[in-house]
Chain A
């Protein structure tokens, strides 16, 4: 539910809060960065998946976002991080006020996220095709430490999947049986040469478990992201409207 901005809303939006923001507040949070007219809230392809991840899937303590036992979320895609920042703000992982300075020289919040600037962000991304390989390495490290709980979720775009580095990681993740790895492919049909046979097939051929779902349906997203996939990594292909 969207709301009309009032003075009390303004006040509320400038305070850091752990629980009081809901999905309906994301548009207003995003508009702190983009302005009301500049960006179509509903057109943000990653919005519903990132919201569902932080609302009901990831185990991350806002008071200690770098705790060793946290789940790790990697926004490999890097582009268009307004939805990501808005969700982080809604969940108390960053201060809402900081969003107003998006893209400014001294801001920690740029057009691509930088993990060195934001404690709640795992890695700096923007150049495509880096997240999945790093995620494989993180899970190899967690395995060496015998930490079996933390999961790694890596969000990539269907066009980003063009990058060959992803396919290096897809092969190895399955061979290493990284069952704590979930790749999420936001599919808005923007890969220039397409994916004949479907995106999920590319992962399944390497031995991954897969689910292809409506990337706007929060229940479906949650179900797909929490389903059991013993012994193998899992891909969720989240289809959204075409770009």
Chain B
């Protein structure tokens, strides 16, 4: 069992390279040392069987995406990987044009999430990544909350042919849930028509702690695009609180769309859109954005009491 999502990623990539001779990894320096240490490829002429399917562009993220698209155009299944800001935000137009406009597929795997690099500052934080990719047609977006879930979602992404984003984080839940790509997992069933709290990926443990005394249905989402409207509708809820580990409100339109024919109330919780000039720990940042269990309890209780 992989201890971290990054371990799961290295193992899954090994499986992908072994299973699919048309799979290829394209990097922009980030990740090179991890793949090397994992023994997936070697430098200095000591090549192993996969070394030619690792293409390192150097610190050139626009090129990383363009090269991956060129490989996809030639029938390969490219996997591109970097820190979230450098994978999604920096080469954003390359993703839009070179992949989406050209009708190509690929696997995009990021690490770093919203603030894994809590003490590295804003340059290494990408709370807007999911929102940005939602603006590009036909992106499947997975946000695992545990290393085992990451393994399932990464294997699925590698085996497909579409555009898939897998957002990995250091933040994890204590145990993995059964993951079916594209489906929410009903983690806790409230009474009929009880409010629904949607915990996305690594938010689940804190959401469960925050809501243990409340009559709510807790849905657990590891795929946020496409959005599992049916499972949300089936709860019968007319009060919904999505709790997202990236920019708050990112899935608000999908929640409202799912309940378009049902009067409903919505409160979005997630990472606040702010130029936060603080360093510190992951826990510090979770607290600043009101995503720790106590703050979530206050926010959700307050919302439901209205």
Contact = CB atoms under 8 A, between A and B. Distances in A.
A46 B96 CA distance: 26
Given A138-B71, A168-B57, A133 B93 contact: no
Contacts of A141: 24, 70-71, 73-76
Interface in B174-225: none
A156 to B, nearest CB: 13
A130 B66 CA distance: 7
Interface string B52-74: 11010110101101111111111
A136 B35 CA distance: 23
Contacts, number: 93
B98 A130 contact: yes
Given A116-B103, A123-B73, A169-B66, A144 B24 contact: yes
Contacts of A171: 58, 60
A110 to B, nearest CB: 12
A228 interface: no
Contacts of B53: 144
Contacts of A138: 70-71, 73-74
A135 B70 contact: yes
Contacts of B97: 124, 127, 130
Interface in B76-91: 76, 78
Contacts of B57: 168, 172
Interface residues of B, number: 30
B130 to A, nearest CB: 23
Contacts of B60: 168, 171-172
B101 interface: yes
Nearest to A144: B52
Contacts of A140: 55, 67, 70-71
Given A116-B102, A127-B97, A137 B75 contact: no
Nearest to A143: B52
A109 B130 CA distance: 33
Nearest 3 Cβ contacts at the A-B interface: A137-B70, A133-B66, A141-B74
Given A136-B67, A165-B66, 4 more contacts: A140-B70, A140-B71, A169-B66, A172-B67
22 contacts: A124-B97, A130-B66, A130-B94, A133-B65, A133-B69, A134-B66, A134-B73, A134-B98, A135-B70, A137-B72, A137-B73, A137-B78, A141-B73, A144-B52, A144-B53, A144-B76, A165-B94, A168-B57, A168-B60, A169-B66, A172-B58, A172-B60
Interface of A: 114-116, 122-124, 127, 129-130, 132-142, 144-145, 164-165, 168-169, 171-172
